[in-house]
Amino acid sequence: MNCGILHFSRTTADGWVAEKFARMRLVDPLDPESSTWTDIERLRFANRDLLEQVEELPAPVGR
């Protein structure tokens, strides 16, 4: 496959329409029926979790 189409959908696997994109698939234009849907998982972090991640990064140079 030399090209592909990213297809996003707000329709969930059970037929509901979500507020944000819920699923995606990579479609081969020569064989569109071969693609499968993947649910989009959005991770949520608490402030403490984000702070821990930032503290693991090296300090910026020149500051």
Q: 3-state class of 63 per DSSP?
A: coil
Q: At which residue do the structure tokens 């979500």 appear? A: 18
pLDDT tens-place string over residues 3-45: 899 999 999 999 999 999 999 999 999 998 899 999 999 999 9
In the chain, domain spans: 5-55
- The pTM of the full predicted model, rounded to 2 decimals, is 0.65
Q: How far apart are CA 50 and CA 48, in angstroms?
A: 5
Q: In what order do the strands lie in the sheet with 38-39?
A: 5-9, 23-27, 38-39
Q: What's the Rg (C-alpha) of the chain?
A: 19
